[in-house]
Amino acid sequence: MIKPFPESSALKHYPLAGTDMMVSPLGLGTVKLGRDQGVKYPDSFTIPDDRAAADLLALSHDLGINLLDTAPAYGHSEERLGPLLQGQRDRWLICSKVGEEFDNQTGQSHFDFTPEHVRLSVERSLQRLQTDVIDMLLVHSDGNDLEIIERYGILEQLELLKQEGKIRAGGMSTKTVAGGIEVLKRSDIAMVTHNLSYRDEEAVIDYADANGKGILIKKALASGHACIDPDSDPVQSSFDMIFAHPGVSSAIIGTINPKHLQENVAAVIASLNKAGHLE
């Protein structure tokens, strides 16, 4: 059995810029709770059963993690999280998405950014997650960030949902610098790819830092590929690079391995110490 970290080694929570929320600097991605088709991890894995998933959530909470990242495109992730989080909803910030749909039968994805689908998707996510509000709602981009923003008025749709109290903050999981910056001009949060082998979107983080907006990092460990790098400690090096930038709010990691989760938390705490965030 994995022993829990002492409280002093748990993650602290920090303000998520652009919002009224306090977030852990590490978030738990939950695609592996709901989908094992069409994923880009270097190793195969088995989707955890409910007991293992509940244990993973309990360990995450003990380690100070309060951010869960999910999406309709993550297979059955939302449907599984709903029952698992009953009685503990106040412990968590939930980030979900709109725009991408995943077919569990065919293993294929498609995109729909229309206002009608955004509304349907959010109502369905609220039902699946068994909650009355989604803390962060991001658009799952297909790579055409600016076209999605301009053609569908999707950020305006998120603002309406925020006014209605269905979400607390909105934004987009972007794939371009121009898209990321435009999202931050019009919304609260951008999720960008940033890791040792890909730093092309760092200008988005710079913009967020200069303008008081939130940044979530996806693929922080390059979907697990950083872990097989010949570097002596690629995980520590990854988090050192990520948290050296003051514009980063939280990095999402998708492990379902309790030992790896503890090691990731320890690495993040070390990185925050090096960056002076824990002084």
Q: Give the start-to-end residue ranges of the domains of the chain.
A: 14-266
Structure letter (DSSP) for residue 33: G
Compute the mean pLDDT over every residue in the chain, rounded to the nearest whole number: 92
Q: What mean pLDDT do residues 21-42 have?
A: 87
Is residue 18 pLDDT above 80, yes or no? yes
Say which residue the tokens 């890909």 belong to. Answer: 198
Q: What mean pLDDT do residues 150-164 have?
A: 97
Write phi, then psi, for 201 (nearest 5 degrees): -105, 20
With H, G, I as helix, E, B as strand and everything else as coil, classify residue 178: helix
Query: What pLDDT was estimated at residue 210?
Result: 98
CA distance 152 to 155: 8
Closest Cα to residue 63, out of 106, 7, 23?
7
Q: What mean pLDDT do residues 1-14 have?
A: 65
Is residue 222 pLDDT above 90, yes or no? no
Query: What pLDDT was estimated at residue 100?
Result: 96
Give the up-direction half-sphere exposure of residue 275: CA atoms within 13 A in the CB hemisphere: 20
Spell out the long-range contacts of 115-124 with Cβ–Cβ below 8 A and sequence spacing 24 or more: 115/152, 115/153, 115/154, 115/157, 118/154, 118/157, 118/158, 118/161, 119/157, 121/72, 122/98, 122/161, 122/166, 122/167, 124/72
Query: What pLDDT was estimated at residue 51?
Result: 97
For the chain, where are the alpha helices, taking DSSP H only? 50-62, 77-84, 115-129, 145-152, 154-163, 177-186, 202-211, 234-243, 258-275
Is residue 1 pLDDT above 50, yes or no? no
> Which of the four pLDDT bands, split at 50, 70 and 90, describes residue 14?
very high
Closest Cα to residue 193, out of 183, 206, 181, 202?
202
CA distance 153 to 13: 33
Within the chain, what is the greatest distance between any pair of CA atoms?
52
> Which of the four pLDDT bands, split at 50, 70 and 90, describes residue 2?
very low
> Which of the four pLDDT bands, split at 50, 70 and 90, describes residue 4?
very low
Is there a contact between 74 and 35 (Cβ–Cβ < 8 Å)? Answer: yes
Query: What pLDDT was estimated at residue 41?
Result: 63
Q: What mean pLDDT do residues 159-172 have?
A: 98
Query: What pLDDT was estimated at residue 233?
Result: 84
Q: What mean pLDDT do residues 227-232 have?
A: 55
Query: What pLDDT was estimated at residue 228?
Result: 47
pLDDT tens track for 172-220: 999 999 999 999 999 999 999 999 999 999 999 999 999 999 999 999 9
Is residue 66 pLDDT above 60, yes or no? yes
Beta bridge partners of 173: 140, 191
Is there a contact between 234 and 224 (Cβ–Cβ < 8 Å)? Answer: no
> Which of the four pLDDT bands, split at 50, 70 and 90, describes residue 147?
very high
Say which residue the tokens 């998707």 belong to. Answer: 121
Say how many Å lie between the first and final Cα of the chain, rounded: 32
Beta bridge partners of 250: 216
CATH 3.40.50.300 fits 14-266, yes or no: no
